A and B are shown apart, each in its own frame.
Chain A
């Protein structure tokens, strides 16, 4: 069965917000930093808006949980990331395990990043019937998104926001979800060099 498209007013709002983002970003002068940590470990709170009508719910589900990442910076710009998250709601548990490439723009204490991730989703509906204690489905997961980090000290960073579009395929249906996370990032080792004055 095809997934029902969202209403036109929602799409217009989304297009408008993306346009505003593009203008804001273009107005910011971003240059690539020359120093980066070799390892970054992120952990924090995460919110997910889960596409539960695809599995028979009357409405979308608002889930709360956690998000963690381990990033290995190959260069100051390119890295690979392993991402794991868990979100919980009324009768619903959603786990995602993904990995993929990430690109970063760094300047002073700021870091913008964007990534694409591939992996698995494990979704459980915790309802009890006469013969089952719950229903679980494991399927494909794909995420595309990015975020912004601000260095507080050389050792750790505040991840102000990370926003991902998340596609999963569970219970024989396709879900289109949104995940928003925030938290702390810890740094280990260093690569690159600072420009001579």
Chain B
């Protein structure tokens, strides 16, 4: 009996080894679906970028969620509800990654279109496009609850369309479409103060903005001029100086930066313009074979935390497409991986 029992135990161990050995490392991605009033959730394999929808996805949020962010603790996410004029707090189930909204929602200004968060996760910023203001909230690290900081909301010039926060959290930049300009603010414990300089003119129809991780440059996508403007940052004051503007594809909307490379999503020409950045001058040089076909009218781009893949939100395809990044050249290669979102996605947040 002992020999036969031993052999059966070995069967069991063999089965377990064959089938159950080793879980794959994954990232988690959350995607806003405005017309579904929901946020979709996916696991993304770190090596293959294969998407797996988390059971129960998409999860209900407020009316027309346009932007989503995950708190650094990974305990909760926030969605800006552009039509609902409020912000959803979405605690994350640590086992599954599912979202369950906590009510009531937090009031914002009119048409909160974008969200930002400082690196430690102490403050949340919401850009209110119609009421032309920025709502700033302190974040309760335990519950995720939001409380407006003193002086919030902070007024901006009319029709702000996008904003970005420096990695240090010291400076915040707002793109104004009416003036085709960028306004600069200092940030101190969540309180915004305009930098005394006049706004800096960029190209016509500015629609997207981002700061590079080294906090030396700000990039602005100019959707009417089909260009990207590069501005240098004064590290002491946060003031901006225009370096130059560079031609991209048609109707650029979103920018992402990975190392020395800048990626611009061109909605009209359905491709991604890729530039290398001169670290000293900020001058952009388009890399070989750029722009790279993205397909399906990409509205936004996001880069995975490992820097291996670039994700684009396809409006016509109602999907997230995946391109691999060659780290040495910045070049993009189409992959077979994608995730159908059912409706047009508006933003994406990827966490480790």
Residues of A within 8 A of B (CB): 1-2, 4, 6-7, 9-11, 13-18, 20-21, 24-25, 27-28, 49, 51, 53-60, 90-91, 109-110, 112, 125, 127-132, 135, 145-148, 150, 160-161, 163-165, 171, 173, 176-178, 180
Contact = CB atoms under 8 A, between A and B. Distances in A.
B3 A27 contact: yes
Contacts of B19: 6, 14, 49, 51, 165, 176-178
Given A21-B8, A165-B19, A177-B19, 13 more contacts: A4-B48, A14-B15, A17-B10, A57-B43, A60-B23, A112-B8, A125-B96, A128-B100, A130-B59, A160-B8, A163-B8, A163-B15, A171-B55
A148 B20 contact: no
Chain B interface size, as a band, is 35 or more
A14 B1 CA distance: 23
A1 B96 contact: no
A150 B96 CA distance: 41
B275 interface: no
Given A10-B18, A130-B101, A161 B8 contact: yes
B51 A25 contact: no
A25 B14 CA distance: 15
A47 B56 CA distance: 25
B97 interface: yes
The main secondary structure of chain B at its interface with chain A is: mixed
B21 A9 contact: yes
Contacts of A132: 56
8 contacts: A14-B14, A14-B19, A91-B96, A128-B100, A161-B8, A161-B11, A176-B19, A177-B19
B76 to A, nearest CB: 15
B59 to A, nearest CB: 5
B17 A10 contact: yes
Nearest to A22: B7
A166 to B, nearest CB: 9
Contacts of A25: 4, 7
Contact of A161 (B12, B14, B28, B42): B12
Contacts of A10: 17-18, 21-22
Contacts of B51: 1
Contact of A21 (B10, B22, B42, B93): B10
Nearest to B52: A56
B96 A110 contact: no
A11 B1 contact: no
A58 B43 contact: yes
Contacts of A128: 100
Contacts of B57: 56
A53 B56 contact: no
B290 to A, nearest CB: 30
Given A56-B52, A160-B8, A17 B14 contact: yes
Given A129-B99, A161-B9, A55 B17 contact: no
Contacts of A53: 23-24, 26, 43, 52
A27 B7 CA distance: 11
Contact of A1 (B28, B41, B50): B50
